Structure 1
């Protein structure tokens, strides 16, 4: 059955509670869960599944019930009409409420829009007022900036005026002070302030000549500066003179050898330098040396020091001169000069802040006694060893000063010793030239030189004891001489190497190269003369071994020296002049040619001493090898197989040849090389001899003594014979202590 209550209840559940007041904007908003959408009469109610189901149930009733159903339907229709009417009224109420809400919203929005317009107008008015205020504030700021700029300009102008007046105002006071100066004005601290103030005013007026009366004030200030400079110079001279008198008076009470050790020559002058130096520096900044003579300060100071030190220093150096030893004189003199130089240079810097040529000249004059004494002793010294030791000592002294932690002025002492080094080097060169002439070029060979006493235990080229490569580069002159005598070197070779070892590192490289090349050339020439002399009186082979040995010694030991062997030898060619003189005697054309070719022709020849040494060594070795091989092969005759018998007997003398070589050359590798060369020369000649033999001669050769020691039933080739010839040479080679050459 249709339940009316359920329908009404279900429909009334969806009605909105309209009892809420419309006094707020938020209360008028529909709620999502409380109020469903408004339903119309057509679909929301009667289209629901419940209504349709109920209507269909009415249609299925039986005919008996149709009348009752129609009545019920009418009642239902009436109820439905009433519900619709009630529902429409309810909708109208709700619509009215919505309208009132919308009207309230509209009124509120209108009020809000009106207030927004009012606020906008107020903001626009405020903006306009702000822009006006900003414009006025900018104008005020510009006015303030202009006033500030003017104030700064006036302030600068006032400062410039005050500063400008500060350069003109002191003139009156300075004139008053310098017109009647007190006697101790220069020694006061205010004097330096006056000079500083005058320099500042002069500098300003020279840069700003557009001031009124600037020329007048500038001339007045310069006059005051000149007057102050004159006062300072007189004060300087007075102090230096007073200190000199006090020092001289104090030195009279002391012994001469103790005066330089004391501080009396420096303490008083150092006290004066503390007072004088600031003023002198200030005057040098403001006054050019062209305007004022600053050299007067240097001259007076250095002359005063010269009068004080020269007698004492000269007396000390003369006392060293009396010892008659150049080594002692140089060492003691350099020791005292070094101390004096450092003290003098330091005192000079305390006064003048820098050295100049005046101090260099002063020191050279102060050392004149040392220069004269050293020059005299050097010229009288005839011992080359002592001169080399002195020269080496001075060079080491110079290097120690130049490389040490000294002031720059202290290092100048090394340059003042250069004249002494030049004198020593010239004297060394002179003595070396005299030694070359007397003991090398003019040496007369003696018979004992060919067979010297030799120590077999020493090697020919043992150069380690020479000490040429030591750190100090100092050579013990006795070592080369003892080594040379022990190994039987020719005296000329001994003297040459000893001279080179003494002067090595003492002379400039160019000078040493020239002397070394001259010594090498003279030594080779002397060896050649000795070889010719011994060849005429003794066995030429012995003379050749003598020549080879000494050339090898000279060549090997020269490698310890750094020598530029190649040099240019300049000369003058007068050949064309003499040719023109001879033509001039015969015709006029010769006179004209003589006029054109009056000057001689300068020629340059490249000379290599090493090449010269090698050529002589090659000449001696080849001569010895050819002669030694010829002593064996001279028995061989072409086309004569029987001559091999004599050749075989001569090969037995190879041992004698080895003894001859070892008697001169103690180096086993040199002996092996010579034996190898003799064998190769002998084998070469035998090969040529073998090629001259015919087949019959070769068969006959197999019957000679050269083939007796081998199997005669076997045919022998050339190589077999050469192996047989090599046997005695191999035995000699195997007997050598150090076999460095194999045959």
Structure 2
């Protein structure tokens, strides 16, 4: 037998271990299933990627078998050689079986190397990140420091801006002077400027500021120059008001009511200027002074315009009520003159309120100047009046019709007229008391009775009989159905007629005093009555019967 045959026989002997029919080393079903499951697990795990199918396995097995068969020695002399050969083959078989694992292990090693590379890259990236973190922290610290410095700079900027504004606010009180002086010199700032009110307020602010901060350098000089500018501007406004009033007076005529319309037209141009001065009159005394001069200019123009006309009208009223040098009806003259002056006072007050809002003493004196013509015209007539009843009526006209009905309802407009009327009333009352005093002295104290005046008690009996006859006639005329009260009242009236004062001159002298002057003013005149009573007592002592009189 040749060596190839022996090797073939030995290989067949080994292959006979797994021979399907009557194998030399048979495997049980569980062992086979275990081998198949193990192969399946190896395939699923991909540990032997080259063993994709059973065909590949069988082909590899056949190839390995052929390879193993090729490696079978031709002759084995003893068991030791066989064992050595088997050991070598076993190692080869193990190596062949471990080849997928080795390949897998090799792949794992390759992947480990890749992972190591990735880890090294990750470590390098982490290092870079750490460096970036350190750099970021450094930049962040520098940024925070820059931010803090910026905030400090902004705070300093705000402080500097506040200081700048404060300095600007202080300096504007000094820098604005040249602008005001230039505006006043070139007449760009005048009474017709739209910014006149703001210019006045700005001047007031500058003056008030410099007065408050008088310790500033050059504050006194600037204050005096600002006050000079304010004085120039207010003088300009005052002159504008005065010229407007003069122009209205020039175009007006006091003989017609159109002069009120002329002044009302001038009011539309002058009222805004006057209102600016009135609104700021509490700021400085200069405003008050200029406004007072405007009042004086207004009063002067009105006095020039209607003063002579009022006096002429009053003289015309006197001439109308005078005949042959004597006053025909002083009461009618008084009513007409007072009504005229009341009308003028109301119109003047209404016109004044269209120009000014506050009534001053200057205007009151102006109205008093107009109304004093009433006193100047009527007082010479009053001091020559002797009629007691007319004087009493004049007192009633002045006290009731004028003071109580007119002046008390409009005190603001008629205060000047009320003062003149009250003064005139006092003069009329003094004249009335004087005339009553003279009348009592001449017609009572120095009265010389006639024999008929002293026919007492015959005259009393005669008067009583006349009264009784009149009473009987009136009673007979009454109806019997009338009440007893009517008869009683009739008898009392008759008795009152009988008991009338026995001295009519005394009643005529005292009744007006009590009526128009009042009891408190008549108490000072009681000496006259005492004198009269003394005269009556003297007559009685001489044998004349005593007269019953209310004056006693």
What is the TM-score normalised by the length of structure 1?
Answer: 0.44
Task: Give me the whole-angstrom Cα distance separating, in 2, the residues matched to 1:403 and 1:279.
Answer: 33
Alignment-derived partner of residue 375 in structure 1:
379
Residue 366 of structure 2 corresponds to residue 362 of structure 1: yes
Task: Give me the whole-angstrom Cα distance separating, in 2, the residues matched to 1:242 and 1:402.
Answer: 33
Q: How does 1:96-135 map to 2 (within 5 A)?
A: none
Q: Deviations over 1:23-65 (max 9, x none)?
A: xxxxxxxxxxxxxxxxxxxxxxxxxxxxxxxxxxxxxxxxxxx
1:171 to 152, 173, 177: 177
1:274 to 244, 255, 271: 271
Residue 245 of structure 2 corresponds to residue 215 of structure 1: no
- Change in Cα spacing, 1:305 to 1:402, as seen in structure 2 (3 Å) is closer
- Conservation of the 8 A alpha-carbon contact between 1:201 and 1:221: yes
**Greater helix share, structure number:** 2
- Change in Cα spacing, 1:367 to 1:328, as seen in structure 2 (3 Å) is same
TM-superposed deviation, 1:153: 6.9
TM-superposed deviation, 1:260: 4.6
Task: Give me the whole-angstrom Cα distance separating, in 1, the residues matched to 2:542 and 2:496.
Answer: 21
Task: Give me the whole-angstrom Cα distance separating, in 1, the residues matched to 2:416 and 2:364.
Answer: 9
TM-superposed deviation, 1:206: 0.9
Task: Give me the whole-angstrom Cα distance separating, in 2, the residues matched to 1:175 and 1:308.
Answer: 38
Task: Give me the whole-angstrom Cα distance separating, in 1, the residues matched to 2:162 and 2:510.
Answer: 82
Residue 498 of structure 2 corresponds to residue 487 of structure 1: yes
- Which runs of 4 or more aligned residues in structure 1 lie more than 6 Å from their structure 2 counterparts after TM superposition? 146-155, 482-485
Residue 517 of structure 2 corresponds to residue 507 of structure 1: yes
Residue 184 of structure 2 corresponds to residue 181 of structure 1: no
Q: Mean alpha-carbon deviation: is it higher for 296-305 or for 192-201?
A: 296-305
Task: Give me the whole-angstrom Cα distance separating, in 1, the residues matched to 2:427 and 2:495.
Answer: 31
- Change in Cα spacing, 1:531 to 1:207, as seen in structure 2 (3 Å) is same
SS, match of residue 195 in structure 2? helix
Q: Deviations over 1:690-724 (max 9, x none)?
A: xxxxxxxxxxxxxxxxxxxxxxxxxxxxxxxxxxx
RMSD (Å) for aligned C-alpha atoms:
3.6
Alignment-derived partner of residue 315 in structure 1:
312
SS, match of residue 386 in structure 2? coil
Task: Give me the whole-angstrom Cα distance separating, in 2, the residues matched to 1:284 and 1:499.
Answer: 57
- Conservation of the 8 A alpha-carbon contact between 2:392 and 2:512: yes
Q: How does 1:412-427 map to 2 (within 5 A)?
A: 412-427=416-431
Q: How does 1:564-575 map to 2 (within 5 A)?
A: none
- Change in Cα spacing, 1:501 to 1:231, as seen in structure 2 (3 Å) is same
Q: How does 1:513-552 map to 2 (within 5 A)?
A: 513-515=523-525, 517-535=526-544, 543=545, 546-547=546-547, 550=548
TM-superposed deviation, 1:175: 2.0
In structure 1, runs of 5+ residues without a counterpart are 1-145, 459-481, 536-542, 556-743
TM-superposed deviation, 1:162: 4.2
Task: Give me the whole-angstrom Cα distance separating, in 1, the residues matched to 2:502 and 2:262.
Answer: 57
Task: Give me the whole-angstrom Cα distance separating, in 1, the residues matched to 2:262 and 2:318.
Answer: 24
1:339 to 343, 355, 365: 343
TM-superposed deviation, 1:416: 2.5
SS, match of residue 190 in structure 2? coil
Using CA pairs under 8 Å that are at least 6 residues apart, name the structure with larger relative contact order, 1 or 2.
2
- Conservation of the 8 A alpha-carbon contact between 1:320 and 1:329: yes
TM-superposed deviation, 1:246: 1.1
Q: Deviations over 1:76-96 (max 9, x none)?
A: xxxxxxxxxxxxxxxxxxxxx
Task: Give me the whole-angstrom Cα distance separating, in 2, the residues matched to 1:441 and 1:328.
Answer: 34
TM-superposed deviation, 1:510: 4.2
In structure 2, runs of 5+ residues without a counterpart are 1-151, 322-326, 470-492
2:467 to 450, 456, 460: 456
Q: Deviations over 1:586-642 (max 9, x none)?
A: xxxxxxxxxxxxxxxxxxxxxxxxxxxxxxxxxxxxxxxxxxxxxxxxxxxxxxxxx
Q: Deviations over 1:358-378 (max 9, x none)?
A: 223322332343222211221
Task: Give me the whole-angstrom Cα distance separating, in 1, the residues matched to 2:431 and 2:495.
Answer: 26
Alignment-derived partner of residue 229 in structure 1:
234
Task: Give me the whole-angstrom Cα distance separating, in 2, the residues matched to 1:434 and 1:152.
Answer: 95
**Count of residue pairs the alignment pairs up:** 364
- Conservation of the 8 A alpha-carbon contact between 2:365 and 2:416: no
Q: Deviations over 1:489-512 (max 9, x none)?
A: 5553x3323332212253365431
- Conservation of the 8 A alpha-carbon contact between 1:302 and 1:362: yes
Q: Mean alpha-carbon deviation: is it higher for 421-430 or for 443-452?
A: 443-452
- Conservation of the 8 A alpha-carbon contact between 1:333 and 1:370: yes
Alignment-derived partner of residue 348 in structure 1:
352
Alignment-derived partner of residue 98 in structure 1:
none
TM-superposed deviation, 1:321: 0.9
- Change in Cα spacing, 1:161 to 1:290, as seen in structure 2 (3 Å) is closer
TM-superposed deviation, 1:386: 0.7
- Conservation of the 8 A alpha-carbon contact between 2:331 and 2:390: yes
- Conservation of the 8 A alpha-carbon contact between 1:355 and 1:409: no
- Change in Cα spacing, 1:177 to 1:379, as seen in structure 2 (3 Å) is same
Alignment-derived partner of residue 333 in structure 2:
329
- Change in Cα spacing, 1:245 to 1:521, as seen in structure 2 (3 Å) is same
- Change in Cα spacing, 1:512 to 1:152, as seen in structure 2 (3 Å) is farther
Q: How does 1:230-249 map to 2 (within 5 A)?
A: 230-248=235-253
SS, match of residue 187 in structure 2? coil
Q: Mean alpha-carbon deviation: is it higher for 216-225 or for 292-301?
A: 292-301
Q: Deviations over 1:446-493 (max 9, x none)?
A: 3333315356369xxxxxxxxxxxxxxxxxxxxxxx99994365553x
TM-superposed deviation, 1:534: 4.7
Task: Give me the whole-angstrom Cα distance separating, in 2, the residues matched to 1:337 and 1:382.
Answer: 26
TM-superposed deviation, 1:185: 2.2
Task: Give me the whole-angstrom Cα distance separating, in 2, the residues matched to 1:260 and 1:426.
Answer: 38
Residue 200 of structure 2 corresponds to residue 195 of structure 1: yes
